[in-house]
Amino acid sequence: MAVTHVKRAFKYRFYPTDAQAAELSRTFGCVRKVYNMALQARTEAWTLCQERVGYNATSAMLTAWKKVEELAYLCEVSSVPLQQALRHLQGAFANFWQKRAGYPTFKSRKKSRKCAEYTSSAFRYRDGRLTLAKMRQPLDIVWSRPLPDGVVPTTVTVSLDAAGRWFVSLLCVDGPAMPEPVNRAVGIDAGITALVTLSTGERITNPRHERKDRERLARAQRNLARKARGDGANRAKARLKVGRAYARIADRRRDFLHKLTTRLVRENQTIVIEDLAVRNMLKNRTLARVISDAGWSEMRSMLEYKADWYGRDLVVVDRWFPSSKLCSACGTLRGRMPLDVREWTCDCGTTHDRDVNAAINILAAGLAVAACGDGVRPQRSTPGGRSSMKQEVVPPPRSRAAAQPRG
């Protein structure tokens, strides 16, 4: 069924007044307090009485908490972000029960993300001006790009990052971007030296943003380490410099991945990727740093939602599929192949580049799965820990890669 509407978030930077910053800071603190109290109440109810406390019960608790003298400050901020915090806690428990995440943890004043979510009843958006509840003046937003015509925000999320920057994210319901369909498919092999290698033979070099700014980050961290705990303003300034160094790395990485994934989605109708176990790979101390810097998980997330936006097909191949050890010309499966082997010659006489050969095999396997009508939509996980690609499939023309057994 064709997608008629998609949800898009438009994120902008804004500069609050002193009064707005104080109001938002109070709201962040109240959101964190309500979340932690609700989590503690639900944990105690289950520990002591084996009773599950849901959202409605915690909402009633919030009403009672506001009447307590010690918690009277909860009435000074908008009630909507507090209710949204309870909904987020309910979602965290739902993910825990369905084994998609661990047990919810308490929010930290120093480490947790500072944010507050406002629904349509708690903000006013008119003529390009956004005013939040409990505020008299609209936010001074830098509109780096306009919202689509006729689109009105349904949810507004305000956040403050570790670098001291204020952001507002506007969630809107918009029609999908439906470009002309193209008769092209591409297989993608993720790597370290080359961030991605395409089945066309193209390599996209890994920019390694963290390595380029490593000296600046190390200097800022050493400066922070020299500040004694409790050193007030000096330690806060040093912590802000560390946050800005991390933010610079993350911003550059995200910008690069956005440009790369948008190009791949626009140019290809079918995109085939490999289901990488990034969390397990990070246990390798030698490669953990460069794998984290590559941002493979973030790239996959971008490909997933952009494929939905543009009406493309994203196929995920099983992580156990031997893409590197399989000859894309004759289908022969080679034995053990260490990471330092970048080129190899098959018994049929074909010399393969390891990454290009893997990308070609990934594409062939993905097209076979798509032809069978299985696994077209991306899957994060399936029962047993393996995706639906783990099956015998009909090989596409000019390749028998997908029909070979796992090595």
CB 179 within 8 A of CB 310: yes
pLDDT at 406 over 70: no
Q: Which amino acid is at 351?
A: T
pLDDT digits (tens, 9 = 90+) for 220-253: 999 999 988 876 889 989 999 999 999 999 999 9
Residue 150: is it exposed, middle or buried by C-beta count within 10 angstroms (0-12/13-18/19+)?
exposed
Token readout for 102 is: 């661990």
Residue 402's pLDDT is 37
Residue 179's pLDDT is 73
pLDDT digits (tens, 9 = 90+) for 162-180: 999 999 999 998 877 777 7
Q: How confident is the model at residue 401 (pLDDT cuts 50, 70, 90)?
A: very low
Q: What b/e readout covers 119-148, taking b as 16+ CB neighbours within 10 angstroms? A: beebbebeeeebebbebeebbebeeeeebe
Between 342 and 271, the more confident residue is 271
What gap in Å lies between CA 299 and CA 400, rounded to an integer? 28
The size of the chain, in residues, is: 407
Q: Which residues pair with 319 in a beta bridge?
A: none
Classified as helix, coil or strand, 262 is: helix
Mean pLDDT score of the chain? 86
pLDDT digits (tens, 9 = 90+) for 59-118: 999 999 999 999 999 999 999 999 999 999 999 999 999 999 999 999 999 889 999 999
Classified as helix, coil or strand, 330 is: coil
What gap in Å lies between CA 382 and CA 386, rounded to an integer? 6
Residue 25's pLDDT is 96
Q: Report residue 18: phi and psi, to 5°.
A: -60, -40
Active site residues: 189, 274, 355
Candidates 250, 264, 154, 247; CA nearest to 209 is 250
What mean pLDDT is predicted for residues 355-360? 90
pLDDT at 320 over 50: yes
- Reduce the secondary structure of 350-365 to three states and give it as a string: CEEEHHHHHHHHHHHH
DSSP string, 290-320: HHHHHTHHHHHHHHHHHHHHHT-EEEEE-TT
